[in-house]
Structure 1
């Protein structure tokens, strides 16, 4: 499926920068699936062209962040994290 691209977590810096006022790739998360902690830059990103990104835990593949583009707005879902802390 060439519309789905697996990328390093740092690849989401641009789109996350449109939503958050801090450098999101240095933000720390705790995964709601396996409890793993890390920075978003070390997570796995799946980019669906023209739709948004999914940031996944590299330990269990749980969706940490879902970010969609909808009519010139961003919709952010952080339910996959138990905590999200700025760096």
Structure 2
């Protein structure tokens, strides 16, 4: 999905369903640390561009793409961008 065709821009909670399909758990409370600016924040606070098949999860501080979740016929995949680490508080 290209950002210019995203259905909407929302917070990380909107990606909870797609992320559940990957991790089989609610990961929105986990802290995502950006490899670009090194800021950390809960996944729920990330900026998400989303449509029916994908979610681009961006750092709220610098807008780098942390990761992308893609739904396809074979299942769901997670493509890592500038995500440095995920921390459980």
Distance 1:37 1:43 in 2: 10
The alpha carbon displacement at 1:15 in A equals 1.1
Q: Is 2:74 aligned against 1:78?
A: no
Q: Output the TM-score relative to the length of structure 1.
A: 0.86
List gaps (5 residues or longer) in structure 1.
none
Distance 2:64 2:37 in 1: 8
Q: Which runs of 4+ in 1 moved over 6 A?
A: none
* Aligned length, in residue pairs: 86
Q: Which residue of 2 aligns with 1:11?
A: 14
Report how far residue 11 of structure 1 moved: 0.8
Q: How well do the aligned residues superpose, as a CA RMSD in angstroms?
A: 1.7
What displacement does 1:57 show? 0.3
- Once the two structures are superposed, what CA deviation does each residue of 1:13-67 show, in whole Å capped at 9, x if it has no partner? 11111111321101111101100001100111000x3331000001100001111
Q: In structure 2, what is the equivalent of residue 20 of structure 1?
A: 23
Is 1:43 aligned to residue 56 of structure 2? no
Query: Contact (CA 8 Å) 2:18, 2:71: kept in 1 or not?
Result: no
